[in-house]
Amino acid sequence: MRQVTILGAGLVGSLLAIILRKRGYEVTLYERRPDMRSASISAGKSINLATSHRGWKALELAGLKQEMEALAIPMYGRFLHQADGNTAFQPYSKNNEAIYSVSRGELNKKLMTLAEQHGVKIFFEHKCTHVDIPANRLHFELPGKVEKTVQADLLFGADGAFSALRDSYTHLSRVNCDQNYLEYGYKELCILPGKNNEWLMEKNALHIWPRGNYMLIALPNTDGTFTCTLFMPFEGEVSFAKLKTEEDVTAFFDKQFADAKALMPGLLDDFFTNPTSALVTMHINKWHYQDKSALIGDAAHAIVPFYGQGMNAGFEDCTVLSGLMEKASPRPSPKEREVLSKEIADDLDWGWILKEYERLRKPDGDAVADLALNNFIEMRDKVADPKFLERKKIEKELGKRYPDQFVSVYEMVSFSHTPYSTAIQCVQAQDKLLKRIMDAGDFFMNMEKGSFGNTLGTWITEYHNEVQQLDFGNEA
Amino acid sequence: MRQVTILGAGLVGSLLAIILRKRGYEVTLYERRPDMRSASISAGKSINLATSHRGWKALELAGLKQEMEALAIPMYGRFLHQADGNTAFQPYSKNNEAIYSVSRGELNKKLMTLAEQHGVKIFFEHKCTHVDIPANRLHFELPGKVEKTVQADLLFGADGAFSALRDSYTHLSRVNCDQNYLEYGYKELCILPGKNNEWLMEKNALHIWPRGNYMLIALPNTDGTFTCTLFMPFEGEVSFAKLKTEEDVTAFFDKQFADAKALMPGLLDDFFTNPTSALVTMHINKWHYQDKSALIGDAAHAIVPFYGQGMNAGFEDCTVLSGLMEKASPRPSPKEREVLSKEIADDLDWGWILKEYERLRKPDGDAVADLALNNFIEMRDKVADPKFLERKKIEKELGKRYPDQFVSVYEMVSFSHTPYSTAIQCVQAQDKLLKRIMDAGDFFMNMEKGSFGNTLGTWITEYHNEVQQLDFGNEA
């Protein structure tokens, strides 16, 4: 069997290592950073994870679901903190489904330890500078500027948005790619627990302080704290650039997030110690090279965090890859064996697996990037748009009246395994339906007067028929 | 004064070196390839240059116009070779203006020699692997894998589409960029001269064999040869992938380009020796870093060759930079002098120059990329579209009837110094006007019947007024 090398011992790299190890592969992981389990390197750049169905499925596949549940707190909806001090709770689903708050650091540590227990070897402080793609040779820089090269056999780049493997792919001929930063940044902050380590806000919710073009969110941790994230423009009237002094920060939080601030005794320290990080979307149209290497997770599809799907999408990559390993022809024909090396002949047809993986998964990578970006644009531009607010009301009403036909895309993304690319097509079908309805005038008045006649029913049926034609994967 | 380092001794790098040297700067050039004047390295990747107004202006600025004219052959129009054997000549301009065919290699050699004569030092076989942007430190790889670092003071990246400086900029935080390859490739071929080195086709024209989604072009050289370029999809029904054997190529050229083939005794050799090259468009939203470095030419705005503006745009970058040096405040105030090093204090305010250069020039870089891509799309998709052909006819007629109002964008781009970004806005205004006209039915019949009344005149006036509002730079 072939030797597997994985770049990046983050969430996706560690999980992939376990999945491959369980299938009998020897796996070596190379990680840029020191071992986060011994070194205390709180970079203060974390956004808590919201694990949903896709994430859980991959964890279950790796046999880790139970262990991970111990680290996770269910969040059944959004808990809104309005500017006027009012609060409101909005459930995520009609069926009491939840997304799960998990500390990125804790989950990552656990996955690393489990990988090692399964026999995966992890090298830390190995910064990959570039990969010779045709030769599959990795170049590393170790502490003290020591250089090292490693010959890979079957290589996965799970090394995140700034992947060295991705970067090396972009230098191959005819590879299209782009990177696009938002004009928004984010900063990690922290809400502390009470005296007995109890949660000082509702524990089972994702807290949001929406303020138009900026917002604060908070996700619960098992130790009673909440990991908070402030999203805000880098520059402009209300921006990170404007919050220069302790007085600026104090005044801003007093005015905008008074209830949160009361629970943040370390606010000023956090604010001026933690970095302001950037948010990027990246595309690349090459996800694999022959039977030699492939990108996975953020390395293949770095997205912005506004749908809570970054880790879920990366974990689903692992599920897809695992499914293809099931399907792959187990052994080449005797004729093929003659020209193949023993390692390759004795293994699955990885040329086919990696090619299929790219073909199947690239459209979903593009789709989840668009979904995440759309959510950002809604948040930034549309929350103050009366047309948009009216549309949201109509959508809610349609969901109530036609629960079987008008399915929430949020629920499809978070609580099903429907391909992301299908979810995007549902969004488009809903856009068309909603345009019809809104072009016909005041929806609620029309409903009341009964002046829709059967028209609305016909439209819903047409919409539903269109959606039924889509590819819902194995769940259809 | 500051020391100037330029990456790339191509056309733009060499010209920029001369312009800066003439202003008294010490300039050092680093070039990846061996010296093309001694080594015989015909890469067979050249597309002949079509120098137009913008190119000449920069050459004149550097005092090189006369020397360059000796290398250039005027082309007054397109000479079309139709599939049915018919030919036609289409002049580029009403005023007998020409674009000039120049051999890229010859021009480059000449510019290098002139640069050296002016005291510019050129290092060859210095491949820049990356640049430490904040430190302005260049890392080179020399033959034999020898490594070398160079400290730059004021750095320009004129190192083409795959610029090492550009690549290093893309790794800075919040830099947006993209690269997009066409599905088309190109291959250099050659038409030989007659027995007395005479041109065997019309000398003063750009020859085109348009064939729908592929084409051959030929530009004259001073030695009686024509440099030909075949543009064709990489894959598909008619494609490079389909021309595998000598028989394939012979049959294809016999059928499609019989008259050209008769003048290409070396066709098969050329076809199988010369590479099939790719065509890329690149954008990046960071063109300079503080007062330390900047991108210029293809490194800032790599474009496809279908408008013949690649070199012209790069040379115009030099003109713009030179203009800004004229405008820049010559010396800092006494107060500024106290905090600046002598080298910086004794020089122009390069922080301002580079910032202004990016601000002024980036929109034009984007515009020329769009113009070039539009021409490709027209060629690929629209030549067989009756609507498009009708539109072209109407445009021609409008140019005749309203010569002062309805100016050809091609002429604006090729025979004026109007900013590219203004040319693109003219395209948009023309699109609007043509839509109006075509929506009103059969243009020529309406003209004949006089049923436009004064409408057409009014529309033209409105169009003209709109265009008059645009920024035509110094030429307005």
Q: Do A181 and B170 touch (CB under 8 A)?
A: no
Whether the Cβ atoms of residue B274 and residue B187 lie closer than 8 Å to each other: yes
Q: Which of the four pLDDT bands, split at 50, 70 and 90, describes residue B403?
A: confident
Of residues B445 and B363, more confidently modeled: B363
Q: Do B180 and A176 touch (CB under 8 A)?
A: yes
Which pLDDT belongs to residue B476?
34
Write the residue in A171, A173, A179 that is nearest to B176 by C-beta.
Answer: A179
Q: Do B178 and A178 touch (CB under 8 A)?
A: yes
| Closest C-alpha to B140, from B151, B153, B157, B127 | B127
Which pLDDT belongs to residue A45?
72
Q: Which of the four pLDDT bands, split at 50, 70 and 90, describes residue A451?
A: confident
Whether the Cβ atoms of residue B98 and residue B76 lie closer than 8 Å to each other: yes
| Mean pLDDT for the stretch of residues B151-176 | 97
Closest-CA residue of A relative to B184 is A174
| Mean pLDDT for the stretch of residues B288-300 | 98
CA distance A177 to chain B (A): 6
Amino acid identity for residue A237 in this structure: E
Closest-CA residue of A relative to B168 is A167
Report the C-alpha gap between B109 and B43 in whole angstroms. 15
Q: Do B179 and A179 touch (CB under 8 A)?
A: no
Mutation site for A-interface testing, chosen from B45, B171, B176 by largest number of A Cβ within 10 Å: B176
Residues whose CB is less than 8 angstroms from the CB of residue B451 and which lie 6 or more positions away in sequence, other chains included:
none
Which pLDDT belongs to residue B94?
83
Q: What percent of chain A has pLDDT over 70?
A: 97
What is the four-CA torsion angle of B37, B42, B44, B47, rounded to 10 degrees? Answer: 10
pLDDT reading at A23 higher than 70: yes
Q: Do A177 and B178 touch (CB under 8 A)?
A: yes
Write the residue in B173, B177, B278 that is nearest to A278 by C-beta.
Answer: B173
Residue B180 with chain A: CB contacts under 8 Å: 176
CA distance A278 to chain B (A): 7
pLDDT reading at A52 higher than 90: yes
Residue B170 with chain A: CB contacts under 8 Å: 179
The two three-digit tokens of residue B92, written as one number: 């580029």
Residue B278 with chain A: CB contacts under 8 Å: 173-174
Which pLDDT belongs to residue B474?
64
Write the residue in A171, A176, A181 that is nearest to B181 by C-beta.
Answer: A176
Residues of A with CB under 8 A from a CB of B: 162, 170-171, 173-181, 234, 278
| Mean pLDDT for the stretch of residues B220-226 | 94
Q: Do A181 and B175 touch (CB under 8 A)?
A: yes
Residue B234 with chain A: CB contacts under 8 Å: 174
Burial class (CB in 10 A: 0-12, 13-18, 19+), B398: buried
Mutation site for A-interface testing, chosen from B45, B171, B178 by largest number of A Cβ within 10 Å: B178
Q: Which of the four pLDDT bands, split at 50, 70 and 90, describes residue B46?
A: confident
Of residues A7 and A447, more confidently modeled: A7
From A27-31, B259-263, B322-326, B384-388, the region with the lowest mean pLDDT:
B384-388
Residue A178 with chain B: CB contacts under 8 Å: 176-179
Q: Which of the four pLDDT bands, split at 50, 70 and 90, describes residue B356?
A: very high
pLDDT reading at B407 higher than 50: yes
Which pLDDT belongs to residue A464?
92
Residue A181 with chain B: CB contacts under 8 Å: 173-176
Write down the ipTM of this complex: 0.89
Q: Which of the four pLDDT bands, split at 50, 70 and 90, describes residue A158?
A: very high
Report the C-alpha gap between A124 and A202 in whole angstroms. 38
Whether the Cβ atoms of residue A261 and residue A253 lie closer than 8 Å to each other: yes
Report the C-alpha gap between A81 and A223 in whole angstroms. 23
**In this structure, what are the phi and psi dihedrals at residue A371, rounded to the nearest 5 degrees?**
-60, -45
Amino acid identity for residue B297 in this structure: G
Which pLDDT belongs to residue B135?
98
Q: How many CB atoms lie within 10 A of CB B119?
A: 13
Answer positive or negative: Cα dihedral of B325, B328, B334, B337.
Answer: negative
Which pLDDT belongs to residue B450?
83
From A222-236, A242-256, A384-398, the region with the lowest mean pLDDT:
A384-398
Residue B175 with chain A: CB contacts under 8 Å: 179, 181
In the A/B pair of chains, how many CB contacts fall below 8 A?
A: 33
Q: Which of the four pLDDT bands, split at 50, 70 and 90, describes residue B475?
A: very low
CA distance B152 to chain A (A): 22
Q: Do B176 and A180 touch (CB under 8 A)?
A: yes
CA distance B454 to chain A (A): 37
CATH number of B4-366: 3.50.50.60
B378 secondary structure, DSSP code: I
pTM: 0.91
Q: Where are the domains of chain B?
A: 4-366, 385-475
From A47-61, A342-356, B302-316, B349-363, the region with the lowest mean pLDDT:
A342-356
B240 secondary structure, DSSP code: G
First-to-last alpha carbon distance for chain A, in angstroms, is: 35
| Mean pLDDT for the stretch of residues A225-237 | 96
pLDDT reading at B13 higher than 50: yes
Which pLDDT belongs to residue A332?
65
pLDDT reading at B426 higher than 50: yes
The alpha helices in B40-80, defined as continuous H runs, are 53-61, 65-69
Q: What angle do CA A244, A249, A255 make, to 5 degrees?
A: 140
Residues of B with CB under 8 A from a CB of A: 162, 170-171, 173-181, 234, 278
Each residue's pLDDT tens digit, A259-268:
999 999 999 9
CA distance A180 to chain B (A): 5
Residue A278 with chain B: CB contacts under 8 Å: 173-174
Which pLDDT belongs to residue B387?
86
From A32-46, A60-74, A457-471, B242-256, the region with the lowest mean pLDDT:
A32-46
Answer positive or negative: Cα dihedral of A13, A15, A18, A22.
Answer: negative
Q: Do A177 and B181 touch (CB under 8 A)?
A: no
| Tokens 């019809």 found at | A436
pLDDT, mean over chain A: 92
Q: Which of the four pLDDT bands, split at 50, 70 and 90, describes residue B152?
A: very high
CA distance A168 to chain B (A): 11
Amino acid identity for residue A399 in this structure: G
Q: Do B176 and A181 touch (CB under 8 A)?
A: yes
Which pLDDT belongs to residue A476?
35
pLDDT reading at B73 higher than 50: yes
Mutation site for B-interface testing, chosen from A162, A176, A235, A373 by largest number of B Cβ within 10 Å: A176
pLDDT, mean over chain B: 92
Closest-CA residue of A relative to B130 is A129
Which pLDDT belongs to residue A465?
92
The alpha helices in A302-349, defined as continuous H runs, are 310-327, 334-339, 342-345
Which pLDDT belongs to residue B42?
60
Mutation site for B-interface testing, chosen from A166, A170, A174, A240 by largest number of B Cβ within 10 Å: A174
First-to-last alpha carbon distance for chain B, in angstroms, is: 35
pLDDT reading at A430 higher than 60: yes
Which pLDDT belongs to residue B216?
95
The two three-digit tokens of residue B175, written as one number: 């830099």
Which pLDDT belongs to residue B45?
72
Report the C-alpha gap between B260 and B253 in whole angstroms. 8
Q: Do B162 and A175 touch (CB under 8 A)?
A: no
Which pLDDT belongs to residue A330?
66
Which pLDDT belongs to residue A164?
98
List B156's β-bridge partners, or say none: B6, B294
| Closest C-alpha to B208, from B407, B44, B382, B75 | B75
| Closest C-alpha to A285, from B224, B158, B178, B23 | B178
